[in-house]
Amino acid sequence: MARSKGRRRELAKLPTGIAGLDEVLGGGLPAGRMTLLNGGPGSGKSLIGLQSLLHGARAGEPGILILFEERADAVRLNARSLGWDLAALERTNKLYLFDARLNPGAIVTGDFSIKGLLAILDRQVKSMRARRLVIDAVDRLVQLYDSASRERQELSSLHEWLLDRKLTTIMTVKAMPEDDRRSRHAFLDFMADCVIDVDQRVTTQVATRRLRVVKYRGSGYGRNEYPFIIGENGINVIPITSNVLQHPAPGPRVSTGLTRLDDLVAGGYKRGTSVLIVGTAGAGKTTLGCTFAQAACRRGERVLYLSFEESPESLVSNMLSPGLVLRPLIKRGQLVVQSYLPEAMGVEEHLFHALQALDELRPKHVIVDAITACRRMGSESAAFEYLMRVLNACRERGITCLYLNQATGTDIVAEISGIGISSIIDTAVLLRQLPIDGTMTRQLIVMKSRGTPHSEQFHEFRITDRGIDLDEA
Amino acid sequence: MSRTTHVFRLFVAGREHNSALARTNLAQLCEKHLKGRHRIDIVDVLKNTAIALEFRVLVTPTLMLVRPRPEVTVLGNLNDTREVLAALRLIGGER
C-alpha cells in the first residue's frame, strides 16, 4: 500500500519502551522528529519522557534530559523509587541531566535569544552522540518572552536545531486552558509531528490517568483515550482494541460442569463467549461458577478466578460444603484465584492487573465474582469500563468469560441488565429462590443464549454436598 | 586595579545583533556611571561553552554583576537604560 503512493515511505519510528504506548503509536515516536506532550501538573508527562529516554539509553541510544522546572536531584530520587538508577547511566555517558532552571531573580530588559542553550546542547550532543532528547516544561522557557512572534521565532530555531541533528525529541508542556492553548501553544502543536494529550481526572475519589494521541503526521495511531497507570516499573498504558470483527469466532462448546445444564444450552457454553450468571445472595452463583471451573481444570484447562468478594482461602472453604474441592486445583496451578478489594485502586490499575494476568497465565476461562462489586472501583461507568475491557480482552484471546452478578431486588429479570452489559453478553443464566409449599426452592432458567436453541423453562435445583443437582425439564 | 568597584561578566553569542547591542549599551553605561572603576569580562558562549554550562547561561546576552555583592543577572540587550541602572543598583532604591 505504501509503495503505490510512490515516494511515500514507512515512517521511521523509535520505541518508547512504554508498555502499551508503542502499540497506540503504531511502533513508537517519529524518529528524528519532535513529539509534544501536553499535560497538567502531576499528569505523568515528565515520567513518560524520562522512561522513554531511559529505554533508549539502555538500548544504546544516549539521551539528554533538559529540566526547566525540576531539580536534577529530585528527578534522580524519583527515578530511584521506580528502581531506575539514572546515575549509573550518567556515569557511562548514556544519559545526561541538564539542570536548566532559569534564575528566578533574573531581570529581563530587551530582546535575547536561546543561543546559549543551543551552544551548550550542541557540545553535549556531540560529545555523547545523543540520539534522543527530552525537553521538560518548555513552557518555562517560552514564558520569558512577552511577544508571541519572538516566542515563535525562538521555538522555530529550537525546532530547526533538533531536526538538523536528527534528535528524536519529546517536549513536555503544561496544559493550558483552552483559550491560551489556542493562541500561545497552537504553534507548538503545529510544529510537532506527533501530539499527545495527557490528563488526570478524579471521579468519585478515584484518580484516573488518560492519554490521547491528537496528531501523528504520516502515521496511523490509536484514536481512543487510553487509561494508564504509574505502576512499580513506571508507566503502563492500557490499549484496547474494541473492534469486535477482529475477535476469533467462538470455538466449540465447553461443559458448564453440569450435564443437565449442558443439555439446556445445546451442549455447553461456547468457548470464547461471555456468560452472565445472575442471582440473589445465596442463590448459588459462586457454586455454579466454581462447578464450571472445576470441570475445566479437570480437563486440564486453566481458569482465572477474579474475586472481588472474598479471599482465596474463604472461597476454598466455602466451596467445600457443596462438595467442590478447589485446593488441589490451586496447588497444581490450574485454578488461579486473585482477590482484590475494588476500592483499593482505580479502574486502570484493576484493568492492568487483569490484563497482565490474562497474558501471563494464559487461562482458557475467566470468572469475575461479582461484577456488582466493580461499582466500588469508583462509579457505575468505571465498572462498565472495566467489565467491557476485560470482556473484549477475553474475546480477543478466545477466553470464555463468566460474570457473576448479584441481584439485589426481587425482580431479578429486570436486573439481568447488570451494569448495562447485558447486550454484549452471549448467555445469561438466572438463579432464584422461591418459597413453594413452605420450603425454599431453587430455580434456574436460561434467559438468553445467542445463536443457540435453549430451554425456556424454570428448572428446579438443589445444592447438595455433592454439588448442584439440577432437575430435568 | 584597587579602584575597581564593579565587575561584570557579559555572556554573548558571537556577533549576533542582540549581543553586539548589549556590549555597546553596557560600555556606554559604564563610561557614564562607573568611569575608571569597572571591569567587563566578555564570554562568548559559542567558544566557551564550558563556562556557559558552568553558569547555566541559556539565553544570550546575559549580564552578571559579579561585584559588588549580591550578584545580579540581567537578560536581554540592555536597551532600557533606566531599567538596567535600577537592576544594577546604580540609581534609585540604593541605600
Inter-chain touch B73–A101, beta carbons under 8 Å: no
Inter-chain touch A119–B72, beta carbons under 8 Å: no
Which segments in chain A show pLDDT lower than 70? 1-10, 176-184, 202-207, 239-249, 409-423, 473
* pLDDT for the residue A222: 83
Q: Residue A219 in contact with residue A11, Cβ under 8 Å?
A: yes
The mean pLDDT of chain B is 90
The nearest CA of chain A is from the CA of B15 a distance in Å of 11
* pLDDT for the residue A234: 85
* pLDDT for the residue A242: 43
Going by the DSSP 8-state scheme, the letter that residue A145 receives in this structure is -
Domain ranges of chain B: 6-87
Residue to substitute from A68, A115, A125, interface B, most B β-carbons within 10 A: A115
Interface of B with A in 49-68 (CB under 8 A): 49-50, 52-53, 56-62
Q: What nine digits make up the cell of A214? A: 491528537
ipTM: 0.89
Question: Is B26 part of the contact surface with chain A (CB cutoff 8 Å)?
Answer: no
The nearest CA of chain B is from the CA of A90 a distance in Å of 17
The nearest CA of chain A is from the CA of B1 a distance in Å of 28
Inter-chain touch B73–A107, beta carbons under 8 Å: yes
φ, ψ at A276 (rounded to 5°): -110, 125
Q: Residue A351 in contact with residue A378, Cβ under 8 Å?
A: no
Distance between CA atoms of residues A173 and A135, nearest Å: 9
Distance between CA atoms of residues A14 and A169, nearest Å: 10
Residue to substitute from B12, B15, B49, B59, interface A, most A β-carbons within 10 A: B59
* pLDDT for the residue A275: 93
Architecture of domain B6-87: 3-Layer(aba) Sandwich (3.40)
Rounded to the nearest angstrom, the gap between the alpha carbon of residue A426 and the centroid of all alpha carbons in its chain is 24
Inter-chain touch B60–A115, beta carbons under 8 Å: yes
Q: Any residues with CB less than 8 A from the CB of B76 and at least 6 apart, and which?
A: A108, A109, A110, A111, A112, B18, B22, B61
A218, A217, A237, A241: which is closest to A227 by C-alpha? A237
* pLDDT for the residue A72: 94
* pLDDT for the residue A126: 95
Going by the DSSP 8-state scheme, the letter that residue A91 receives in this structure is H
Residue to substitute from B58, B63, B71, interface A, most A β-carbons within 10 A: B58
Amino acid at A469: D
**A&B contacts, CB < 8 Å:** 96
Task: Say how many Å lie between the first and final Cα of chain A, rounded.
Answer: 58
* pLDDT for the residue A179: 52
Q: With a cut of 80, say whether residue B82 has pLDDT above it.
A: yes
Inter-chain touch B76–A113, beta carbons under 8 Å: no
Q: Where are the beta strands (DSSP E) in A285-345?
A: 303-307, 335-339
* pLDDT for the residue A4: 41
